[in-house]
Homo-oligomer: A and B are copies of this chain.
Amino acid sequence: MNDPIKHVAITGGTHGNELTGVHLVRHWQSQPAEVRRSSFSTELHLTNPRAIKKVRRYIDQDLNRQFSIQDLKNPELKSYEQQQAKSLDALLGPKENPRVDFIIDMHTTTANMGMTLVFNSSDPLVIGMAFYIKQKMPHATLFYEPVDRLGHNFLTSIGRIGGFLIEVGPIAQGLLNYQVYSDTQKAVLYALDYLEKRNTGQPLDLPKEMAGYQFIEKIPLPENSEGEITAMVHPNLQDKDYHEIKPGDPLFITLAGDTIVYDGETSVYGAFINEAAYYDQHIGLSFMKSIKINLENSGSENYG
């Protein structure tokens, strides 16, 4: 149904202080052979130029929340990132009938999430790509958050089959780290190899099922009545992304040193633990559940 993939976009700098994607785009602009494949075109874009120049996540709003079809069609939304989202939709989309088939958007995180592949589609092409990369890079984690493509607000959602967000950490904002750079580079190149093999009918030999994590909800940092943060991530939880959090386990520690525990009834797993970019919303971490992702039963009901 989705075949063939004809146009792929690789994007960096959607968050202007996540330098890895910015420098990988610049690297590939000077070394285009590395991302060239025979069966589709690959284009490279720096998506938030003003934020990149200022080395900030965004100028007015998070660009990677501006791509719902409702917002793209709303002429009242005129902030820098809202306008930038409309420009990118004109360049890569339009969302309802996109020119670009697939978008790979490169991000970093201050959380200890290693090499994480965030995918929002249950389309077999997308699931297969995640499996292929994890086969080649077993330390990759599959982060599954299926959503409706048209309603979704990520940049990747304006691709015909959506896309993929590569999220690598831990790394501070405004910084390069070779391990993070190199992991991101490899994962993108494997994604392109996968599409090339798929387009040209080469055998892929993917497993039927792989382990991953599905997003449940975001957990706020404790606040006082003035809305100020009163606690931080507990040291036992810091850097423990994708570890089990059992009922009664410490979540936060107050500025005065008191522990706040997880009061749920079933175990969960943490992700985006102590992500700096979420401090403005006072979010401490995401709760995830451990899942098996199935390739053969996957379908495109939820997404496109």
A residues contacting B by CB (< 8 A) are: 19, 23-24, 26-27, 31, 55-56, 110, 170-179, 181-182, 228-229, 232-235, 238, 253, 255-257, 274, 276-277, 279-280
Contact = CB atoms under 8 A, between A and B. Distances in A.
Contacts of A55: 279-280
A92 B290 CA distance: 55
Contacts of A256: 27, 31
A255 B19 CA distance: 12
Contacts of A172: 110, 170-173, 276
A257 B185 CA distance: 11
A235 B179 contact: yes
Contacts of A175: 110, 274, 276, 279
Given A23-B229, A56-B56, 19 more contacts: A19-B279, A26-B228, A31-B256, A55-B280, A170-B172, A171-B172, A172-B172, A172-B173, A173-B173, A173-B174, A173-B276, A176-B232, A177-B233, A177-B235, A177-B238, A178-B234, A178-B238, A178-B253, A179-B238
Chain copies in the assembled complex: 2
A238 B229 CA distance: 31
A234 B177 CA distance: 8
A176 B235 CA distance: 11
Contacts of A174: 173, 276-277, 279
Nearest to A181: B232
Contacts of A253: 178
Contacts of A170: 172
Contacts of A234: 178
A170 B19 CA distance: 18
A221 to B, nearest CB: 9
Nearest to A177: B238
Contacts of A279: 19, 55, 174-175
Contacts of A255: 23-24, 26-27, 181
Contact of A177 (B24, B179, B182, B232): B232
A55 B172 CA distance: 14
